[in-house]
């Protein structure tokens, strides 16, 4: 059973890398491969189906669907990257300080973090955007604030466990300063755990960006974004279902790709069982040593 699971992971890992790499390629080179301006309207070509001129058709305003899907990938990936950088850096700092110093510092920080974790992240983001108004940057800041407690709690656990390790205690004995221990030893160890978690969390963030835009609290028209494309196409669902299906497929593929990538990275860090051949070799070595 375990061998079968590992064989599947050998396939799913590269598949996740391929999907994520495909969307990253589109995001980086989208301006060069996009056939049209994603915001250019042509009412004479509105609601066209698949054709050589427009491979994925046009929307109700005559905008090229393929170009808007490419622009939507750029908008989503840039948003995911910004939120992960902002939330990860702040959460890493808070968690490292809390896990290293402990005591009343840890109690204050963790009670605040526990309060943040008790409220769903999307609800926090909706509340912040509702106060400051819907816009792309307000959405990014709101999601970053909502995601900080997750990375702070993760970092605190890693650092609190690392502080008790013998090599950290030996640094104390050798006279290493606190800033050196934190920046050169504890923070890099916590950063690895944060990056592994972020690789899987990116799919959840892509969904959050689409949800906020779908509710009118995120990306605003005419900027192309998959959630915003979905809500704009809903009135035309019966006469032109592809306008809803295509952004939905793109969003689903991105989320699946990030989930597969994150799972493969996390499981690659887990201890791997010995194969039957390696186990037999180890038994033979032990047998020879016992005879000697």
CA gyration radius, the chain: 24
Is the pLDDT at 33 greater than 90, yes or no?
A: no
Predicted pLDDT of residue 288: 52
CB proximity list for 186: less than 8 A, separation 6 or greater: 96, 99, 100, 159, 162, 163, 168
Predicted pLDDT of residue 140: 92
Reported as a single tens digit per residue, the pLDDT across 120-153 is 888 888 888 888 888 889 999 999 999 999 999 8
Predicted pLDDT of residue 83: 93
Contact yes or no for 216/289 (Cβ under 8 A): no
Predicted pLDDT of residue 195: 83
* For the chain, percent of residues with pLDDT exceeding 70: 84
Give the class (CATH, top level) of 2-291: mainly alpha
Contact yes or no for 135/144 (Cβ under 8 A): no
Task: Write out the two tokens for 90.
Answer: 């702040």
CB proximity list for 55: less than 8 A, separation 6 or greater: 35, 66
Predicted pLDDT of residue 147: 92
Domain segments of the chain as ranges: 2-291
The residue to which tokens 């978690």 are assigned? 197
Cα distance between residue 287 and residue 290, in whole Å: 5
Cα–Cα distances (Å) from 30 to 9, 37, 67, 69, in that order, read: 30, 11, 8, 10
Predicted pLDDT of residue 57: 84
Reported as a single tens digit per residue, the pLDDT across 73-106 is 999 999 999 999 999 999 998 988 888 888 888 8
Is the pLDDT at 290 greater than 60, yes or no?
A: no
Predicted pLDDT of residue 177: 72
Predicted pLDDT of residue 114: 87
Reported as a single tens digit per residue, the pLDDT across 154-208 is 888 888 888 777 777 676 667 677 777 777 777 788 888 888 888 888 888 999 9
Reported as a single tens digit per residue, the pLDDT across 214-247 is 888 888 888 888 888 888 888 888 888 888 889 9
CB proximity list for 152: less than 8 A, separation 6 or greater: 90, 91, 92, 94, 95, 98, 109, 113
Predicted pLDDT of residue 77: 92
Reported as a single tens digit per residue, the pLDDT across 262-278 is 777 766 655 455 455 65
Is the pLDDT at 2 greater than 50, yes or no?
A: no
Cα distance between residue 195 and residue 151, in whole Å: 10
């Amino acid at each position: 059973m375990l061998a079968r699971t590992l064989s599947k992971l050998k396939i799913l890992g590269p598949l996740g890398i391929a999907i994520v790499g495909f969307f990253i390629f589109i995001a980086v080179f989208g301006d060069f491969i996009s056939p049209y301006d994603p915001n250019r309207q042509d009412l004479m070509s509105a609601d066209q189906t698949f054709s050589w001129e427009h491979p994925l058709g046009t929307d109700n305003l005559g905008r090229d669907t393929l170009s808007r899907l490419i622009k939507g990938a750029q908008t989503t990936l840039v948003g995911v990257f910004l939120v992960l950088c902002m939330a990860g850096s702040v959460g890493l700092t808070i968690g490292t300080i809390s896990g290293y110093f402990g005591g009343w510092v840890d109690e204050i920080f963790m009670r605040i973090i526990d309060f943040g974790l008790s409220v769903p992240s999307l609800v926090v983001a909706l509340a912040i955007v509702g106060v400051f108004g819907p816009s792309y940057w307000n959405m990014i800041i709101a999601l970053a604030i909502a995601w900080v407690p997750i990375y702070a709690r993760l970092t605190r656990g890693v650092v609190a466990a690392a502080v008790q390790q013998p090599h950290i205690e030996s640094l104390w004995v050798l006279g290493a300063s606190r800033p050196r221990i934190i920046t050169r030893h504890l923070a890099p160890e916590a950063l690895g755990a944060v990056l592994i978690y972020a690789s899987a969390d990116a799919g959840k963030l892509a969904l959050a960006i689409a949800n906020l835009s779908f509710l009118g609290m995120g990306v605003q028209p005419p900027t192309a974004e998959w959630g915003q494309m979905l809500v704009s196409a809903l009135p035309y669902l019966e006469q032109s279902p592809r306008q809803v299906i295509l952004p939905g497929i793109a969003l689903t593929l991105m989320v699946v790709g990030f989930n597969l990538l994150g799972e493969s990275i996390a499981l690659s860090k887990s201890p791997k069982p010995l194969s039957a051949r390696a186990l037999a070799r180890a038994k033979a070595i032990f047998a020879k040593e016992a005879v000697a």
